[in-house]
Structure 1
Amino acid sequence: MHKLNSLETASVLDISGFELMHLRKQGSIAYEKRERTFFYSLPAGHSVLAHPIGKELLNWYKGKHDFLQPNDPIIESSTLALEELVSEILLPINRIFGKPEITYGFASFSLKNYIQKVSPSGTAPTLDQHSSHETNSVGKQICSRGGAACDFFVEGVATSDIVRFITQKLNYDRIYYYGNNRPLHVSIHLTEPLKHLQVMCESKNGRRYPGKKAFGGQAEILAEDL
């Protein structure tokens, strides 16, 4: 069960900190105390995707693309994976570094199709995990890797510092690092996270190509050299 701090929980439930305190004292919400901080389990029927960062994960395309359909997950495992991405990657980053600015988040089947028509450069929907566990028109999973992914940056923070934090502290699946001044691609996996760090390089003509890579503990070492 994902645990959220007081501010995050109040944001998801759309209540004040004072109201949350009353719920806790009444025994109406499950919680645990770690040193001086309370962490809560969301009540049934509530999702961490209601947090502003969760909303941005779903609505990142607004203002970038003229796509007017909903961009909500249909497959239950997609919802679970997106919740995991928010709870286990994006919120911990928010606590330490500040708000992640999502440049590419979840892509439903319809949004994926739209992007492939109008702006396909640099995308790889069968590999990039942005469509999570969603399926295409014939019921085949769009990305066989499953999980969930997003690209983001934190204003004023070197991406390499975030990579070091993720590799040392968080249960990630894949990281693609494009440099300190570019968004970071990170994914999670619900059952078998690879903990794979891939450094991406750029040729003189602007073509991206894979450089060094590492897994697990070796990924932590590679991150130190970024």
Structure 2
Amino acid sequence: MKLKTLLFKHFLQTLCIVALSLQTAVAEDFHTWSYHRDWDRLANLEYTLARSPLPKRGLYDLIRLEIVCKANQLQLIADSNSLITSQNQPFDFDYRIDNQAFVTIEMRTFSDSRRRAYNDEHAQAFAEALLNGKSVFVRIHTMLKKILSGAMPLDDAREPITRVLADCGIQLSNSSNETADYGLTEFERDLKRLPTTQQQQLLNRIRQMIKELDNR
């Protein structure tokens, strides 16, 4: 009898731990970028995706973004809790990385949804833009002339997005980063990757360079 009681208590403890772990994982999924593997039952096909966190409730609409790799095809998906437009209809989707200018692309709702839409043509450009910013702000122009909006941080977006790109055989080239102006954000990011001693050595060299420029 005691053995059965102990086993039952152990079962309940294990069940509570599993439930708590699942609850924590779901909570993190709402607040961070995350990588997933899923299965399309209709196509009998596995696919992967990077999913955005939800925007802050009360400030923005409930919008989630996904970068999907399915059948070696990259796709951008926007999922809204509100009506966008009729099924299989185009609409304008705006996005802005940090304080850059807005970019407008055309998205289209799925044939079976009024709240979920996709774009194939600009998916890679959008994904790469996310990798070069700290936050993204999006706007969805609905059929009712209402604009849905949302903002998501990009601090933890790099790892899941690059995994999805790699799943689709897309290798990021450094050429664009080398030709673009090197900004303070990129410098701070790269500086944090160095050991403390190398950070200080680099900062000392920069200080010396600034002094030399001032003396010219």
What range describes the TM-score normalised by the shorter chain of this pair?
under 0.3
TM-score, normalised to structure 1, is 0.26
Task: Compare relative contact order (CA 8 Å, sep 6+) and give the higher one, 1 or 2.
Answer: 2
Tell which structure's C-alpha radius of gyration is larger.
Answer: 2
More strand by share: 2
